[in-house]
Amino acid sequence: MAFSSSISNHNILIKALMFLLVVNFLYLLQTTSAVTSSDSNSHFSRFSRHQSSPSSRTKEGFLASVQESKNHALLARSLAFNLTLSHRTLQTHTVDPIHDCLELLDDTLDMLSRIHADNDDEDVHTWLSAALTNQDTCEQSLQEKSNSYKHGPAMDFVARNLTGLLTNSLDLFVSVKSKHGRLLSEQNSIPTFVTSSEQRRLLEASVEELKVDAVVAADGSGTHKTVGEALLATSLASSTGGRTVIHMKAGTYHENINIPTKQKNVMLVGDGKGITVIVGSRSNRGGWTTYKTATVAAMGEGFIARDITFVNNAGPQSEQAVALRVGADKSVVYRCSVVGYQDSLYTHSKRQFYRETDIYGTVDFIFGNSVVVFQACNIVARKPLSGQKNFVTAQGRTDPGQNTGISIQNCKITAESMTYLGRPWKAYSRTVVMQSFLGGSIDPSGWSPWSGGFGLKSLYYGEYGNTGPGSSVSGRVKWTGYHSALTVTEAEKFTVAGFIGGNMWLPSTGVSFDSGLIK
């Protein structure tokens, strides 16, 4: 009886806190609406009248808009946190979509808190684009669980309003940058904790040459038996902000790994593809949000993976089932293998680079809204379910101001059955395939609609210099947004140097990369 009374009091307290949060949010929203609707007081109106002079006033207006977004993100996080308290259960795993929103809001706050007048413009552009992606993912998770989660509409309302504020910040940033060049500053973005010798050796060095912080071995011969234990121990022990290297010995590890935003510069090193294997089986059909199906998820900046196979073995009938999800800025996946069916690789957000990595799947098996380049990768569309079609990519750009997209360069794309290069998951989907070998199972039309005419005028799909039996563009789609023969100048925008600014940060990893077009 006392226990029941305690639970009842707890629920009353949570409801009261939620009520206060919502009232507070509505007050801030009303204040914001009043301010932004008045030409004489709006940050954006003041900016619009002074576009000809990119002075400190424009910087202040932009930074004020970011602060406004940050304030609402803090409020949204408070609401999400209290909703998670009110929805705790005795389930062995949590399928609550609010947990997705909470994690994503933490990531957004981390990025917004780092925006100041001295930032490099490319960093800011990436962070604002990713913050919008986080909001879209939160809303997607809420939609996926709309039938089973009663508090979804409240969180969705808050999320959508935060999306509007972030969109304003991004629009302001892009408009100033396009008219006047750089809004903030330009800095060298190579991490200060990486020494010159480490730059040369980090990804090319043997395991014996690396300074390893933890060794994972299922047989007990290492410092830990699971990757999760090693990540927890190193997060508690690390206080320098330097690189954390975890060696995963040969073996198969059945676990789900999450590297959060706060755990930066983690490097997972295996003993080779098919030798060190991490396996999970979460799926959307199994009750998880797509975001939480990932066998391995990495959000901490500077994430590196080498010589590992990531697997989601839920099977093709389980619908969305992610093997690897990456939302870590300046991340590198090198000599790895990603194996699944639908949604195998979730390149969620921020700057990413994949080199000499094998990717297997069926439906939309490379998807997300990062700004990512794939080089020298082997991309294989597996045999789908009967009556199912294969799509290599489903890029998720939701706003024309986002710097996001998928670039596939110097890769090999083959398939076990007829396959499309991609389809537009979101309205401004952007994907380029260039200087790659396309197998004979690539559908002659190349690209597929998502639904009717959705996104066909606003998307950006392009091809340049491809070879192989599937590379002919004579039968390709005739959409407004499709470009069958990019010029050299257009293609250069999607190289490592032009698209992800890789010349500034990839040298710190030691990974091999082609900076521009391959001659």
CA distance 150 to 83: 10
pLDDT of residue 37: 42
356 domain residue, yes or no: yes
454 domain residue, yes or no: yes
Note whether 353 and 308 are same-domain residues. yes
Note whether 197 and 127 are same-domain residues. no
Residue 36 scores a pLDDT above 60: no
pLDDT of residue 324: 99
502 domain residue, yes or no: yes
Residue with tokens 């009938």: 317
Residue with tokens 């969109």: 167
Note whether 316 and 377 are same-domain residues. no
**Band (38; pLDDT cuts 50, 70, 90):** very low
47 domain residue, yes or no: yes
473 domain residue, yes or no: yes
205 domain residue, yes or no: yes
Note whether 67 and 87 are same-domain residues. yes
pLDDT of residue 23: 56
Note whether 203 and 168 are same-domain residues. no
CA distance 54 to 75: 32
From the number of C-beta atoms within 10 Å of its C-beta (0-12, 13-18, 19+), residue 274 rates as middle
CA distances from 34 to 30, 165, 167, 168, 405 (A): 6, 14, 18, 15, 35
Number of domains observed in the structure of the chain: 3
| Spatial CA neighbour of 392 closest among 338, 318, 469, 352 | 338
186-190-193 Cα angle (round to 5): 135
- The DSSP output letter for 290 is G
Specify whether the CB–CB gap between 130 and 328 falls below 8 A: no
**Three-state SS for 159?**
helix
pLDDT digits over 385-399, tens only?
Answer: 999 999 999 999 999
Q: Which of 145, 180, 215 is the last residue of a domain?
A: 180
CA distance 382 to 417: 7
Specify whether the CB–CB gap between 350 and 404 falls below 8 A: no
Note whether 474 and 492 are same-domain residues. yes
Note whether 143 and 21 are same-domain residues. yes
Q: Which of 152, 180, 208 is the last residue of a domain?
A: 180
To 10 degrees, the CA torsion angle through 74, 80, 83, 84? -120
**Band (14; pLDDT cuts 50, 70, 90):** low
pLDDT of residue 203: 77
Lowest mean pLDDT among 132-141, 146-155, 280-289: 146-155
Average pLDDT of the residues in 47-70 = 70
Note whether 212 and 347 are same-domain residues. yes
Domain encompassing residue 36: 2-180
Side chain identity at 330, as an amino acid letter? Answer: K
Specify whether the CB–CB gap between 246 and 269 falls below 8 A: yes
Q: What amino acid positions are annotated as catalytic residues?
A: 364
185 domain residue, yes or no: no
Note whether 33 and 169 are same-domain residues. yes
pLDDT of residue 115: 95
Note whether 295 and 379 are same-domain residues. no
pLDDT of residue 34: 44
Q: What is the CATH number for 47?
A: 1.20.140
Q: Is 410 left (phi over 0), alpha (psi -120 to 50) or beta?
A: left
pLDDT of residue 270: 98
Residue 235 scores a pLDDT above 50: yes
Q: What is the CATH number for 219?
A: 2.160.20.10
Note whether 315 and 418 are same-domain residues. no
Note whether 141 and 270 are same-domain residues. no
Residue 41 scores a pLDDT above 60: no
CA distances from 51 to 17, 44, 67 (A): 43, 10, 21
The predicted model scores a pTM of: 0.89
451-140-127 Cα angle (round to 5): 105
pLDDT digits over 103-118, tens only?
Answer: 999 999 999 999 988 8
367 domain residue, yes or no: no
